[in-house]
Amino acid sequence: DGGITQSPKYLFRKEGQNVTLSCEQNLNHDAMYWYRQDPGQGLRLIYYSQIVNDFQKGDIAEGYSVSREKKESFPLTVTSAQKNPTAFYLCASSPRGRGHYEQYFGPGTRLTVT
């Protein structure tokens, strides 16, 4: 089945540790995105990538880093510089090209940092 997988579903870390969230898609989509959702807030864009080896900062990129070495994979690292890392993280992908396309979302990873 085609789709987006995020692992793990729940992740716990101690403050001061870096943590990497996984996102894999087999939809052959060029574009991939990372969002963060906090209670009572919408989805805020952290980073996005429209093509392999290229990515752009979103609205809240500080304290995060990404890589896009393969089309299928777009891992997100939450660094110790991120002041409020506890949140629900969503990865998405979409085709790229002429015309408009919706984004397809993974199931999300809930990160808790104590």
Partner 1 sequence: DQQVKQNSPSLSVQEGRISILNCDYTNSMFDYFLWYKKYPAEGPTFLISISSIKDKNEDGRFTVFLNKSAKHLSLHIVPSQPGDSAVYFCAASAGTGNQFYFGTGTSLTVIP
Q: Which residues contribute to the site for partner 1 (CB under 8 A)?
A: 4, 6, 9, 31, 33, 35, 40-45, 48, 50, 56, 58, 88, 90, 92, 96-100, 102-108, 110
* Closest distance to partner 1 from the beta carbon of 106 (Å): 5
Q: Are 92 and 4 in contact (CB under 8 A)?
A: yes
* Closest distance to partner 1 from the beta carbon of 74 (Å): 14
Which is closer to partner 1, CB of 18 or CB of 56?
56
* Closest distance to partner 1 from the beta carbon of 100 (Å): 4
Helix (H) or strand (E) holding 2: none
Which is closer to partner 1, CB of 16 or CB of 97?
97
Going 23 to 28 to 32 to 38, the CA torsion angle's sign is negative
CA gap 74, 69 in Å, rounded: 8
**In 3D, which of 28, 51, 113, 43 has the Cα closest to residue 78?**
113
